[in-house]
Amino acid sequence: MIDFRYHLVSLISVFLALAVGIVLGAGPLRENLGDQLAGQVEQLRTEQEQLRSDAEELSTKNDQLATFVSELGPELVAGNLAGKQVAVITDDGSTRPGIERMMTLLGDAGVESPTRIGLQPALWSPDADGERAAAVGEIRSIAPAALTADPDGELTDAAQLSGLIPNLLRGGEELPPELRSQLWQVLIDHQLIVIDGHAPTRVDAVIYTGAAPEELSVETEDEAVATERAQALLASQTHLLTELAGTGLPAVVSAATPGNDASTGILRTVRGDRAFDALSTTDRLQEPDGPLLSVLALIEQTRGGSGAYGTTGDAEERLPVLPETRGIEGALQDQGTGDAGADPQPSDGGGEG
């Protein structure tokens, strides 16, 4: 049997340890720990305020630079696309302000009557399956070879119809003008697209403009329907751009990136897939300089160059490196928006081409 004195000594030890802890906690140890914590909190607060100040300063400089660049727009692009036929494809009306500025700049660049093609929600909406199926049926009866070969039946009607658009824009002997006109009319009749002006017989270059992802969703839809819509939209956009890349036409994908965020939407898909390397990309469509970036990138494309331009994290350069932009490259570096350590040389091609 354990001696009672052992229990007594153990109890005394416990209470002594507790007393020492209380004394130290209430005395110098607590004061020292409290001072350390207070100092760390103050340091973190100071660092946070400095980061916020730096971010605001950079944002202000970038806005000033965007305004400066956009004001130079007509001079930078003047005559560089003379004689070219250009189509601008849009996927949502929210991009209209940027599109209007882009159309003006294309005119400044020498493009006569650029064609605007608006993709309509029926092209990917879950409740328009019947309309799409009917359109595909009509197209197969007119020119079955116009659709993408799909022996395994992997492509949806949304993808097939979207992929038809770049092939109609490219032209070619396999699709005579009369057939192309009929196929355009099928897309129009089924409310899959709208065309501002006459349907083009062929074009020399294309700009695809993408809205912010939230603009293409429907808030009232339940999760299942919203998922179906998003999948059909992605299939539509992806196949259209896959076919566009395959046409060999100079082409640019320009997207709205609110909050300077390109982590979602079609821009992320294109920049993250080497299958689209032939296409140039620009972000900032909603900003004053966004439309100009698109037109400059298209000019570079017509000279054999390509690249990813803008200010989002996956952009390679602030703007295409062209002889026309030589005078503003220094301003970009001074504002801290260029790539650190980079010293690109202007060329007729520019970019990566």
Chain segment 150-175, per-residue pLDDT in tens: 989 899 999 999 999 999 999 888 88
Q: Has residue 8 been placed in a domain?
A: no
Identify which has the larger pLDDT, 292 or 342. 292
* C-alpha angle 350-101-63 in degrees, rounded to nearest 5: 70
**Residue 342 has what pLDDT?**
38
CA atoms within 13 A on the CB side of 7: 4
| Position 161 in a domain | yes
Give residue 120's pLDDT.
Answer: 98
The reply to whether 59 falls in a domain is no
Please give the structure tokens belonging to residue 242. 């896959």
Is residue 22 predicted with pLDDT exceeding 90?
Answer: no
Mean of the pLDDT values across residues 254-268? 94
Q: Per the domain annotation, does 36 fall within a domain? A: no
The one-letter amino acid code at 36 reads Q
Which of the four pLDDT bands, split at 50, 70 and 90, describes residue 3? low
Contact 184, 190 (CB under 8 A): no
Please check whether residue 275 lies inside any domain of the structure.
yes
Beta carbons within 8 Å of 184's beta carbon, 6+ residues apart: 168, 195, 199
Is 90 exceeded by the pLDDT of residue 190? yes
Banded model confidence at residue 271, pLDDT cuts 50, 70, 90: very high
Is residue 342 in some structural domain? Answer: no
Q: Is residue 309 part of a domain?
A: yes
Domain count, the chain: 1
219 found inside a domain: yes
- Separation CA 269–CA 229 (nearest Å): 17
CA distance 276 to 270: 6
Q: Give the DSSP per-residue string, 35-58.
A: HHHHHHHHHHHHHHHHHHHHHHHH
**Does the structure show a pLDDT above 60 at 6?**
no
pLDDT tens per residue across span 76-122: 999 999 999 999 999 999 999 999 999 999 999 999 989 999 999 99
Q: Please indicate, yes or no, whether the overall pTM of this predicted structure exceeds 0.85.
A: no
Note down the domain range covering 215: 80-334
On whether the CB atoms of residues 179 and 143 are closer than 8 A, the answer is yes
Say which amino acid occupies 231: Q
